[in-house]
Chains A and B, each alone.
Chain A
Amino acid sequence: MAIAKEESGIGANHALLELRDLSVDFETEQGTARVVDRLSYRIDRDETVGIVGESGCGKSVTARAVMGLVESPGRIASGQILYRHGDEVIDIAKLDPKGRQIRELRGNAISMIFQEPMTSLNPVFSIGDQIAEAILLHQSITRRDAAEKAVEMLDAVGIPLPRERARDFPHHLSGGMRQRAMIAMAMSCNPSLLIADEPTTALDVTIQAQVLDLMNKLRAEFQAAIMFITHDLGVIATMADQIRVMYLGRVVESGPVSTVFRQPLHPYTQGMMQSIPSLRGARKRRLQSIAGNVPSPLEVGPGCGFASRCPHVMDVCRKAKPALVSEGGVQSVACFQHHTHTEEASHAG
């Protein structure tokens, strides 16, 4: 356990979470795979930060690290996860994953909703019991009050007849209702940070619209910061204030959603935005696709991870990793087309 003193970054009074040079390794038979690679970013209070990237980019592993849920064969190799809890700043990376302190934070100050609600709810307990248990774990109230609070939460997430539904088991509910129940559980202890890992990916589009609408209402009501992980740029545009585009364990571009969508700077962000068919654009045109496939984290060389697929690749891209550098204020990009800062130089400085 380590309590850092007030510092810059997390020291700013609206900062809530700051990742500093976070690396997560997974031991595999073929060697060590660095799945999250010296990742640094900050989430402020009341802010929704969209983390976007394709499978294997490390977005979910980052979320699990923040929850203190990285399990073997994975481990946090280096870096800090600074979380401001009241007046103190806690480095989650240094906490014992089974210890008292992380268990106090987890599900209480920081809670999480997952992609597949069926596998994250316990099939043998009723919805109401599961929510009440989460409340009892973190608050000193009676079982009866906790049960009452669970019904209130089900009501708050728009589940009709909450008192009856509280007695239902997960399999009684539809996918959308289950995700609402998950959200009710996550919000029941009034978290200051909600991590939503692809919360609507398994849902139908009309149900997704309902759940996104609900999350927008709740974030205003509960004033929680949200780390919203998704591969869907449409969902990011609807939900997030800030965007962090991840590729091979690193942030390649970040900034306010409006700025990044208007003018994406990184070739990967550009490629991703051009590759999605739109509801309004020209039909039947050839989609701009990104050539090749995401390389395995085991194959990453000394250069930029995107170099093997990049249409603008230069010699330098294969030799050094570009640092994430601010371009004109709010937007940052890790690409040698825009600057010459290598990661090593920025670390030395």
Chain B
Amino acid sequence: MQAEEVLLDVADLRKLFPIRKGLLQRVVAEVKAVDGIDLRIHTGETLGLVGESGCGKTTTGRTILRLLTPTEGKVTLRLPSEDGTTAAHEIDLAQAGPRELKTLRQKMQIIFQDPYSSLDPRMTVSQIVGEPLKVQGIAHGQERADRVADLLQSVGLEPTSMTRYPHEFSGGQRQRIGIARALALNPKLIVADEPVSALDVSVQAQVLNLLQDLQARLGLTYLFISHDMAVIRHICDRVAVMYLGKIVELAETDELFGNPRHPYTEALMSAVPVADPGHVSRRILLEGDVPSPVSPPSGCHFHPRCRFATDICKSEVPTLRTLNGNHAVRCHHAEKLTLQGVESE
């Protein structure tokens, strides 16, 4: 893994959704779904984005892909030249026009959560998987059919499934079809948005293994979005924890789980039920719900639920600071807190 080569650089990304009301559809408020995100994704790594519903993780993924237009910010995709002699080609996705976007989309694809609604029920598998090739005008006729058959094989489906329709497949198989479609254009970056959340556990393991195999074989880079801490820990090299549109902690996986520095990360980890009846739970129960991103709390957004909150947390927004090495945290008191991580076996 070439860890230091940055593939994608996200700087101060913001996405606001206006709330309109009344006859004139005046903007009465804004949902700050993504509220100033900075991220770097290295070539070949899996970066996890974890958080609860409404924290903006999906919006972040979609804004990076320009499925949503960012309100503000810069998203730079760095494509190394083919022969490696000339300098890398940098493109700001946030500014790219439609024509440029179309070519860029060859380099980045998405896998959706719901394998039922993300496949057109009236298209055959070969049409679904072949569509990116058709849209991009890459392969035609027999060439396209061969490529689709290869793709299906690489995700563990029989080439005979080409003529069948999505409803003939189980959830896990449909997710494989979605993965084959994402791979069709040989992308560099794949945004996997909760790719296993809708699947049963035994099938979830198959799909996670497949994603890992494909990464090793094709040198893919993943932005892996999930609410499941165990899945995130299993598959990611580095993890960013989001809360109300902001990254509150970012570190390498072992460091984050072993030595969390943000009280929210700690609570999130301790809340996961452990599949071991002998496990003595030291669960930290957070009070209340995630506040609305329309009117987030003042200062540190987490302060109303934080057991360490002091006056400064109510008034001042903490910045994302780097502590030791590559461990970044958005908390005024990070240095002083003793938080419990997960003991590895």
Contacts and interface: CB of A to CB of B under 8 A. Distances in A.
Interface size class of A (residues with CB under 8 A): 35 or more
B53 interface: yes
A209 B283 CA distance: 8
Contacts of A276: 201, 204-205, 230, 275
Contacts, number: 138
A213 to B, nearest CB: 6
A293 B202 CA distance: 9
Given A204-B227, A287-B208, A275 B202 contact: yes
B275 A237 contact: yes
Interface string A230-249: 01111111100000000000
A286 B213 CA distance: 9
A291 B230 CA distance: 21
A206 B286 contact: yes
Interface string A181-223: 0000000000000000000000011111110110000000000
B232 to A, nearest CB: 9
Interface string A276-292: 11111111101111110
Interface string B240-258: 0000000000000110010
Contacts of B272: 205, 234, 279
Contact of A237 (B271, B274, B283): B274
B275 A234 contact: yes
Nearest to A281: B345
A258 interface: yes
Contacts of B228: 205
B155 to A, nearest CB: 14
Nearest to A239: B273
Contact of B229 (A205, A213, A281): A205
A286 B209 contact: yes
A280 B344 CA distance: 4
Given A290-B202, A294-B200, A279 B278 contact: no
A235 B277 contact: no
Interface of A: 54-55, 174, 176-177, 204-210, 212-213, 231-238, 257-258, 261-262, 271-273, 275-284, 286-291, 293-294
Which are the 3 A-B pairs with shortest beta-carbon distances?
Answer: A234-B273, A277-B234, A289-B205
Interface of B: 52-53, 170-173, 200-206, 208-209, 212, 227-231, 233-235, 253-254, 257, 267-279, 281, 283, 285-286, 289-290, 342-345
5 contacts: A205-B227, A210-B286, A278-B230, A281-B345, A282-B344
Given A279-B342, A289-B205, A290-B205, 12 more contacts: A212-B273, A236-B275, A237-B276, A238-B273, A238-B274, A275-B204, A279-B229, A280-B344, A282-B344, A284-B212, A287-B205, A290-B206
